[in-house]
Structure 1
Amino acid sequence: MEKRGWIVYISNAAILLQYRGVKVLIDGLYRDTSGYFSQLPDAVWESMQQGMGEIPNVDYLMFTHSHADHFYEPYVSKYLQKNAVKGYAAPFSSESLKGCTAIVFDSEKKAVLEEDVVCGYLDIRHLDPRFYHVTNRCYLIEMGEKRILFLGDADYQAEAYGALHGLEIDIAFVTPVFFNHEAGRKILQEMLHIRKIILYHLPFCQEDTMQMEKMARRDIARYAKEDQPIVIWNKTGQSLVF
């Protein structure tokens, strides 16, 4: 069986991972209600509803937190009506997920999903002080020999990342806001061992009214380390093979 993995960007913070036929969709059923971020492309959402194509019928759904730009209950309900899913993970409860099986994590906050596919998590508060009451779940997904970290909208609480100390992390998905903050960069560049950073959770270029890409490119030019490449994902279909 093919042992290579594949990661593809959909939009906003929506990411699809595939390894040995196992598909994981992270923050992929959302609808931005703030006006700051781009929506799921119409063609993608249409195929999801019909249960056809690559993105429908994923094995596992994962959500970092309950904000609508990461999790939109009506979309989750519609998706589960047409698509077969083995399990889900989320730091919150929702009526829309009651027809789906929750992934069971052990005392070390890990779960073996499939052969050579393991998911762990850290619950860290949301980075915006207005939303400190919102739990943001960071996922560390191991696929074969690769470790892939998704921070979602995690805050810069250095002590909260203790469980990741000493681990070699191959790829980390990080928001530009996190990397822009000195405390965030210290976590990424000094505390953790990360080989490659991908900045995500941006609107598409033509909809970037906040100029997040400009900020991200400026910060990369100023702060990137030679041994830790950083790229921006804000175009549907951007991908990598591991």
Structure 2
Amino acid sequence: MELFYTVNSGVYLRGSGMALLIDGIHRGRAVAFSPMPPALKRMLRMGSGPFSRLDGLLFTHAHPDHFDPDGLSVCKTLPPWYGPGLGDAEVRPFLPCVTQVCMGCGTILAVDTVHAGADFAAAPHCSYLIRMEGRWTFVAGDAVLGPDEARRMRTLCGEEVGAALLNPCQLLEPRGHEFLRILAPERVLLYHLPLPEEDRLGCFDLAAQAQIRYPKTLPPLVRLEPMSWLRTGRA
């Protein structure tokens, strides 16, 4: 499986049976994050580069740095898409507060989670467990994470997690560290960063602090670089 990180929380996952773009169609400037890079829009419009294959779009929630409904028209052919209360993809109830999203040949579980911050706690939000090529990837979005959430994810996937994507704030909190101890992914990927020249909130400083404070007893931490590839399978 391969991962292409766009910007903000945009992640493209590609395996032999499925290719998904998560939180990749968004705005950003109004909330001090990055809008979609022109190169990304061009690739989606032409169905080229990584996006010559795209089985579905996923969104963790509807905040503008994660989702732009008007931006869906940028896709050459709009695939099925899903977010909490959004989209036209086929879905199936899986368990209370867990929805199975039907896209491609893998498994996608949308797990209801609480958005971090008191002002946003009521906003519909989900995190994702995605299984491709026999491996699970956890995508946090802006969720509150702690031991309870980790045990829930472990129960749902029942297998080793290859990678977990978390943002700088989640990685700065002791509860986020406890989440990772229980989830025990093979590696942790730090994301939710704007382009460096558009970093008005100090996200890269937060990311640097998260890396410095990250316990050495936890799985290896890798900071993703905007608009770049990362191989997520076993070495």
1:232 pairs, out of 203, 220, 223, with 223
CA positional deviation for 1:213: 2.0
**Aligned equivalents of 1:53, 1:231: Cα separation in 2:** 24
Moved over 6 A (4+): none
After the TM superposition, which of the residue ranges 143-152 and 179-188 deviates more from structure 2?
179-188
1:79 aligned residue: 74
Provide the alpha-carbon RMSD of the alignment.
Answer: 2.2
2:179 counterpart of 1:187: yes
1:67-216 correspondence runs (5 A): 67-76=63-72, 78-79=73-74, 82-85=76-79, 87-93=80-86, 97=87, 101-108=88-95, 109-111=99-101, 113-115=103-105, 117-156=106-145, 158-165=147-154, 167=158, 168-189=160-181, 191-216=182-207
Identity level (%): 25
- TM (normalized to structure 2)? 0.86
Change over 3 Å in CA distance of 1:34–1:188 after alignment to 2: farther
1:18 aligned residue: 14
Letter in 2 for 1:75: G
Letter in 2 for 1:135: P
**Aligned equivalents of 2:227, 2:48: Cα separation in 1:** 18
**Aligned equivalents of 1:221, 1:72: Cα separation in 2:** 33
Unmatched 5+ stretches in structure 2: none
Q: Deviations over 1:152-209 (max 9, x none)?
A: 00013543443213542110010101111122222122x3222211110011223223
Q: Deviations over 1:101-139 (max 9, x none)?
A: 423123233356444x11112111110110111121101
User: Is the Cα–Cα contact under 8 Å of residues 31 and 65 in structure 2 kept in the other structure?
Assistant: no
- TM (normalized to structure 1)? 0.84
**Aligned equivalents of 2:55, 2:199: Cα separation in 1:** 32
**Aligned equivalents of 1:238, 1:204: Cα separation in 2:** 15
**Aligned equivalents of 2:209, 2:118: Cα separation in 1:** 25
